[in-house]
Amino acid sequence: MANSPHGGVLKDLYIRDEPLKAALQAEAETLPHVVLTERQLCDLELILNGGFSPLQGFHTQAEYTSVVNTSRLPSGALWTIPIYLDIDRTHLDTLGAVPGSRLTLRDPRDDQPLAIITISDIYTVDRTQEALQVYGTDDEAHPAVHYLRHNTRDTLVGGDVQAVNAPQHYDYVAIRRSPNEVRALFKKLNWTRVVAFQTRNPMHRAHRELTVRAARMRHANVLIQPVVGLTKPGDIDHFTRVRVYQAIMPKYPNGMAQLSLLPLAMRMGGPREAVWHAIIRKNFGATHFIVGRDHAGPGSNSQGADFYGPYEAQDLVLKYRDELDIEVVPFQMLTYLPDTDEYQPINEVAEGVRTLNISGTELRRRLKTGAPIPEWFSYPEVVRILREANPPRDQQGFTVFLTGLHASGKESIARALQVALNQEGGRSVSLLLGETIRQELSSELGYTKRERDINVARIGFVAAELTRSGAACIAAPIAPYDEARLQVKKLVARAGGFYLVHVATPLEACIKNDRAGVYARAIAGDIKGFTGIDDIYEPPTNADLVADVTKTSISQIVHEIILLLERDGYIGDR
């Protein structure tokens, strides 16, 4: 039979509140509301379906303080990660929220009411203390600490919730299961011993071997339960990962394993998070839980050292194993032995035996360059899916962002570069000239700093979408402010390549090149706030290329941009 829930009772609030659903739905439409963040949405879904049992709401101040300082709820039950509803104080004041108030919690995707919270208390916390106690560090290189510092609102709201609606999902609906649904599946399949496997990465042969070994060791079946909520920034998207998991499931013996998705917002909290994961899997009915090397680890700190020891998470889960009442299956990293064509735990490999490994960094390099990925490492079906989602550079999009004063020559460079890239072929080429964008997208904007920043942000959005679709985008606005250019770079770089070209033609030459006489009008005072005359231009300090059309020909500048693109593999046949 399935394992008992944490605390003894599965707190499925959908079932509890079903008799009140019509009344709660009507009430939700009359109450002040809060639109949830993505993390809050994930947390709420697992509160409502019982995945976070014994929680029935967001932590009150007493619960928060107890969890942060002792890894326990005030009841004494083990709980290692604080679960809170953070809201801006000004917004709370606008809502008139006080202890005893009821607020509707709405889905950020479709504005549907999901739950009603009855506020028990409103409080603030010491974020440094939370970072040090929960994550063991105040280093912002840790994703949870960075989130805490930059994304968490200033005030926390605690209180129990009542279920109104479940979040609506449109992807992989058949394998998104609540704890009760997973438990029913175990019962239907007559599974009595179940090893749960947590992952936020694609699975390869080593992962399949690890889970099968765990099943053999514990005479159990396997629940593959990957996270499809929030994971580490930069991770492979969950759509790609789930396609990989679906491709690998037939590699298990028939009847051995099931795949079920978990809408968890990970904190990458290492040891404390591993205990939290074990509690969650217990709520889903698993009797065993695999804790591998550096479980839920975020990688390196700002000094280049790992935040947590490789087996620190295992040690903490083992410390609480009797209280958790879920058997921990600790594993060391598996390594491939080519001479015997098998995987073995690294601590069981005899000295002198030849081993092979491919690191995550090396895998990303091979995907990026199109280098071969051997079958001993992964299955062809998995590699195909990963290559589709991570095409080599010559199939990826990029943006060349030219910035400089009016009449600096950047638009001439942009047009010439468009011709060169069209001649190269292989992808569509789009040209976003400053005046074109002003006319087509930003005609209502003026020339204050705020309005200039909005205009540049719109260019960045369009450039990022073109880049994501595999196109070449050439943008040529003035873009006088460094922070706005930096935000464009961050946005585009998530989609593909980004190259900043500073067209540093001197002001005197720009004035001379200005056939329309705009500079003359600005100097005469007829135009106010004109860049280079009575408004500043902040020269980039991090440009990939600096060009001056008074010293270098347009064709040579274009050639130098082409060389940058060839160097990084975006064009040319390697």
Which amino acid is it at 94?
Answer: T
DSSP per-residue letters across 319-374: HTHHHHTSEEEE-PPEEEETTTTEEEEGGGSPTT---B---HHHHHHHHHHT----
Report the predicted TM-score, pTM, of the whole model to 2 decimal places.
0.86
Helix (H, G, I), strand (E, B) or coil at 445: coil
Which amino acid is it at 316?
Answer: L
Q: Please answer whether residues 33 and 105 qualify as being in contact, where contact means their C-beta atoms are separated by less than 8 angstroms.
A: yes
The neighbour count for residue 504, using CB atoms within 10 Å, is 20
Which of 178, 55, 32, 48 has its CA nearest to residue 106?
Answer: 32
Which residues, 6 or more positions from 270, have their beta carbon under 8 angstroms from its beta carbon?
Answer: 135, 136, 294, 295, 296, 297, 298, 307, 308, 312, 313
pLDDT the model gives residue 390:
85
Which amino acid is it at 341?
Answer: D
pLDDT the model gives residue 1:
67
pLDDT tens over the chain, length 574 residues? 688 999 999 999 999 999 999 999 999 999 999 999 999 999 999 999 999 999 999 999 999 999 999 999 999 999 999 999 999 999 999 999 999 999 999 999 999 999 999 999 999 999 999 999 999 999 999 999 999 999 999 999 999 999 999 999 999 999 999 999 999 999 999 999 999 999 999 999 999 999 999 999 999 999 999 999 999 888 889 999 999 999 999 999 999 999 999 999 999 999 999 999 999 999 999 999 999 888 999 989 999 999 999 999 999 999 998 899 999 998 878 999 999 999 999 889 999 999 999 988 888 888 877 889 999 999 999 999 999 988 888 889 999 999 999 999 999 999 999 999 999 988 999 999 988 888 888 888 888 999 999 999 999 999 999 999 999 999 999 999 999 999 999 999 989 999 999 999 999 999 999 988 989 998 988 888 899 899 999 999 999 999 999 999 999 999 999 999 999 989 987 6
Which amino acid is it at 160?
Answer: D
Alpha-carbon distances, residue 153 vs 87, 339, 411 (angstroms):
5, 55, 43
Whole-angstrom Cα distance, residue 126 to residue 507?
Answer: 50
Beta bridge partners of 220: none
Pick the catalytic residue: 65, 152, 201, 335? 201
Locus of tokens 């450039």: 463
Helix (H, G, I), strand (E, B) or coil at 206: helix
Pick the catalytic residue: 106, 177, 183, 200? 200
pLDDT the model gives residue 28:
98
Whole-angstrom Cα distance, residue 459 to residue 217?
Answer: 57
Q: Is 199 a catalytic residue?
A: yes
pLDDT the model gives residue 574:
61
Q: Is 201 a catalytic residue?
A: yes
Beta bridge partners of 227: 262
Phi, psi of 237 (to 5 degrees): -60, 155
Phi, psi of 323 (to 5 degrees): -70, -35
Beta bridge partners of 223: 196, 258
DSSP state of 97: -
Alpha-carbon distances, residue 276 vs 130, 265, 271, 520 (angstroms):
16, 12, 9, 67
Helix (H, G, I), strand (E, B) or coil at 16: helix
Which residues, 6 or more positions from 195, have their beta carbon under 8 angstroms from its beta carbon?
Answer: 211, 214, 215, 218, 220, 221, 222, 223, 286, 287, 288, 289, 290, 329
Pick the catalytic residue: 137, 199, 231, 455? 199
Beta bridge partners of 156: 86, 123
